[in-house]
């Protein structure tokens, strides 16, 4: 190759490279440009090889020109690279910009379930009267759910509780139908004086409607000591009604039958909404049924090794959902386990 030809080729290459660089608009394009012109396999590198074909006298000058072009193209390349990188960073900063003046996003917090709130409240009320809160198993044996409560296996009263039976193979296993089995468990564990309440879930094989659920919560109460009387039971329940529904509330006892108490009663509180005159909430009766109660049956005491000649006791059981329904005028018990957030979040303000 002649020197003149070499130089014109070099000039053409330089022009083409510079022209092409003005069209480069992104870092990726720039990289292909580098590969094409100044990279190790690029056109300029090929020109270095062509140097060998020149006359030895022409080589130094041609080499100098070639190096000049390489330096100039490399410098232009680096400038463009700096420019493009700065542009990319600026664009990224703009797209990732955070407006710190925007109001924060409210975190979604849950709140306590109304039943939990009521259990806390009941625990506090009873703690002030000397009762300890304890919890028991939801899966029970027939022995605790029935036998020790004076309901033998052939007794018709066993049918009253619509039991969900889990297993009958070795020993009868049931979902507890009431919190009363904890009466026996507590008395087996601790000797009198006993004063406990037992909140918890109970289960019944029952069709659901506005006032029946197959799972609901009860609060059991038990006091055993020397000289416990029916009037103590009445006083405690009266105080409960006043704490829950206001200072002027009254309590009503009526005879009722439960195999594990004698005498047995159902108890009601006079309706706080109409002051006992009769309204929709109390179904015109003036009274709201709260649960069952009575004096612990001597056979129950004897069954757990407590001498009924020395000790007496009272027990009561009430429905926790029912208390909430009375207080807040909730007409459908299914709301509690229905998991509708519109209902549950109504109690957010009461959560501490
Ligand atoms: N366990 C009874 C029920 O579920 C309520 C009750 C408890 C009655 C304690 C008397 C004494 O129906």
pLDDT of 213-263, one tens digit each? 999 999 999 999 999 999 999 999 999 999 999 999 999 999 999 999 999
Residue 71 lies in a domain: yes
Task: Compute, in angstroms, the gap from residue 323 CA to the centroid of ligand 1.
Answer: 15
50 pLDDT above the threshold of 90 = no
Model confidence pTM above 0.75: no
Indicate the range of 45-49, 282-286, 340-344 predicted with least confidence. Answer: 45-49
For the residues 131-157, what does the mean pLDDT come to? Answer: 93
208 is catalytic: no
Per-residue confidence (pLDDT) for residue 291, from 0 to 100: 95
Q: State yes or no: pLDDT of 187 exceeds 80.
A: yes
Greater confidence (276 vs 318) lies with 318
State if residue 294 touches ligand 1 by the CB under 6 angstroms criterion: yes
Write down which residue in 95, 124, 147 finishes a domain.
95
Q: What is the pLDDT of residue 22?
A: 85
Residue 351 Cα to ligand 1 midpoint, Å, equals: 29
Among the three residues 61, 95, 129, which one is the final residue of a domain in this structure? 95
Classify residue 109: in a domain, yes or no.
no
Residue 106 falls inside a structural domain: no
Same domain, 193 and 285: yes
Crossing angle of helices 27-37/59-95, nearest 10°?
A: 170
- Known catalytic residue: 69? no
SS3 for 231-267 is HHHHHHHHHHHHHHHCCCCCEEEEEECCCCEEEEEEE
Q: In angstroms, what is the span from residue 123 Cα to ligand 1's centroid?
A: 18
Question: Quick count: other Cβ atoms within 10 Å of Cβ 39?
Answer: 14
Cβ of 200 closer than 6 Å to ligand 1, yes or no, is: no
Q: Are residues 123 and 249 in the same domain?
A: yes
Query: 163 and 33, same structural domain?
Result: no
Say yes or no to pLDDT of 174 above 80: yes
Cα 37 to averaged position of ligand 1 atoms, centre (Å): 94
- DSSP letter at 106 equals P
Residue 96 neighbours by CB under 8 Å, 6+ apart: none
pLDDT at 232: 98
Q: How far apart are CA 66 and CA 58, in angstroms?
A: 12
Q: Does some domain include residue 296?
A: yes
Give residue 335's pLDDT.
96
Confirm or reject: Cβ of 178 under 6 Å from ligand 1: yes
Closest residue by Cα to residue 59 from 72, 48, 75, 73: 48
Which of 67, 95, 123 is the endpoint of a domain?
95
Same domain assignment for residues 163 and 25 = no
Q: Choose the catalytic residue: 204, 217, 252, 322.
A: 204
Distance 116 CA to ligand 1 centre (A): 21
pLDDT of residue 115: 98
Whether residue 143 is found in the same domain as residue 242: yes
Q: Is residue 341 part of a domain?
A: yes
Same domain, yes or no: 248 and 322 = yes
Q: What percent of the chain has pLDDT over 70?
A: 100
Q: Which pLDDT score, from 0 to 100, does residue 107 have?
A: 87
Q: How many Cβ atoms sit within 10 Å of the Cβ of residue 136?
A: 20
Ligand 1 pocket residue status of 222, Cβ below 6 Å: no
Q: Which 8-state DSSP code applies to residue 105?
A: P
Model confidence at 316, in pLDDT bands (50, 70, 90)? very high
- Angle made by CA atoms 329, 276, 217, in degrees to the nearest 5: 40
Least confident segment among 30-44, 258-272, 328-342: 30-44
Ramachandran angles phi, psi of 140, nearest 5°: -120, 170
Residue 228's Cβ-count burial label (10 Å; 0-12, 13-18, 19+) is: buried
> For residues 161 and 149, is the Cβ–Cβ distance under 8 A?
no
From residue 235, alpha-carbon distances to 125, 168, 293 in Å are: 13, 41, 13
What gap in Å lies between CA 137 and CA 151, rounded to an integer? 19
CA dist 277 and 177 (Å) reads 34
Helix (H) or strand (E) holding 317: strand 312-319
- Give the least confident one: 68-72, 196-200, 251-255: 68-72
Query: Can you give the residue range of the structural domain that contains 204?
Result: 114-350
CA distance 241 to 139: 30
Is the per-residue pLDDT at 281 higher than 90? no
- Average pLDDT over the chain, rounded to whole? 91
Residue 161 a catalytic site member: yes
Q: Identify the CATH number of the domain in which residue 319 sits.
A: 3.30.930.10
Please report how many Cα atoms fall inside a 13 Å half-sphere around the Cα of residue 29, on the Cβ side: 11
Say how many domains are in the chain.
2
What mean pLDDT is predicted for residues 202-217? 93
Q: What backbone torsions phi and psi does residue 92 show, to the nearest 5 degrees?
A: -65, -45
Is 206 a domain residue?
Answer: yes
Q: Is residue 100 part of a domain?
A: no
Residue range 289-300: mean pLDDT, rounded: 97
Q: Which pLDDT does position 290 carry in this prediction?
A: 92
Kindly name the residue from 261, 265, 268, 272 that is annotated as catalytic: 261
What's residue 75's pLDDT?
86
Active site residue 261: yes
Same domain membership, residue 146 and residue 70: no
Quick one: which H or E segment has residue 56?
A: none
Ligand 1 contact, 181 CB (< 6 A): no
DSSP 266-327: EEEEE-TTTTTS--TTTTTSSEEEEEEEEEEPHHHHHHTT--TTT-EEEEEEEEHHHHHHHH
Tracing tokens 């690279």 back to the chain, one arrives at: 81
Of 115, 218, 241, 249, which one is the catalytic site residue?
218
Please say if 91 is a catalytic residue: no
Least confident among 6-10, 123-127, 202-206: 6-10
> How many whole angstroms from its chain centre is CA 211?
26
User: Domain check: are 28 and 84 in the same one?
Assistant: yes
Please check whether residues 344 and 308 belong to one and the same domain.
Answer: yes
* 102 falls within a domain: no
Q: Which tops the pLDDT comparison, 88 or 147? A: 147
Q: Are 222 and 186 in contact (CB under 8 A)?
A: yes
- Among candidate residues 80, 176, 178, 297, the one labeled active-site is 178
Residues 16 and 145 in one domain: no
Same domain, 300 and 220: yes
DSSP state of 226: T
Both 206 and 246 in one domain: the answer is yes
Would you call 178 a catalytic residue per the annotation? yes
């Amino acid at each position: 190759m002649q020197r003149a030809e070499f130089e014109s080729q070099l000039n053409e290459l330089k022009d083409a490279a510079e022209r092409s660089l003005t069209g480069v608009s992104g870092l990726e394009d720039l990289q292909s440009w580098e590969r094409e012109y100044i990279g190790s396999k690029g056109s300029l590198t090929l020109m270095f090889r062509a140097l060998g074909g020149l006359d030895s006298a022409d080589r130094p000058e041609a080499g100098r020109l070639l190096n000049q072009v390489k330096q100039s193209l490399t410098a232009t390349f680096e400038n463009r690279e700096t420019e493009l990188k700065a542009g990319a960073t600026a664009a990224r900063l703009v797209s990732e910009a955070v407006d710190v003046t925007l109001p924060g996003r409210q975190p979604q917090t849950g709140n306590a379930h109304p039943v939990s709130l009521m259990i806390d409240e009941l625990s506090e009320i009873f703690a002030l009267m000397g009762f300890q809160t304890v919890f028991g198993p939801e899966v029970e044996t027939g022995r605790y759910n029935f036998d020790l409560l004076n309901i033998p296996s052939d007794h018709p009263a066993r049918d009253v509780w619509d039991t969900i039976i889990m297993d009958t193979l070795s020993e009868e296993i049931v979902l507890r139908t009431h919190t009363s089995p904890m009466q026996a468990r507590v008395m087996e564990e601790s000797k009198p004086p006993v004063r406990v309440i037992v909140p918890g879930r109970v289960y019944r094989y029952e069709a659901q409607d506005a006032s029946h659920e197959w799972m609901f919560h009860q609060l059991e109460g038990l006091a055993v000591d020397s000289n416990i009387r029916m009037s103590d039971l009445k006083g405690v329940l009266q105080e409960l009604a006043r704490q829950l529904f206001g200072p002027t509330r009254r309590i009503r006892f009526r005879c009722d039958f439960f195999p594990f108490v004698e005498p047995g009663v159902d108890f009601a509180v006079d309706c706080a909404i109409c002051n006992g005159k009769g309204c929709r909430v109390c179904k015109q009766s003036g009274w709201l049924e709260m649960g069952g109660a009575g004096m612990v049956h001597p056979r129950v005491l004897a069954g757990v090794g407590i001498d009924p000649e020395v000790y007496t006791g009272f027990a009561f059981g009430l429905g926790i959902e029912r208390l909430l329904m009375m207080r807040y005028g909730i007409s459908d018990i299914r709301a509690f386990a229905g998991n509708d957030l519109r209902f549950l979040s109504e109690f957010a303000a009461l959560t501490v």
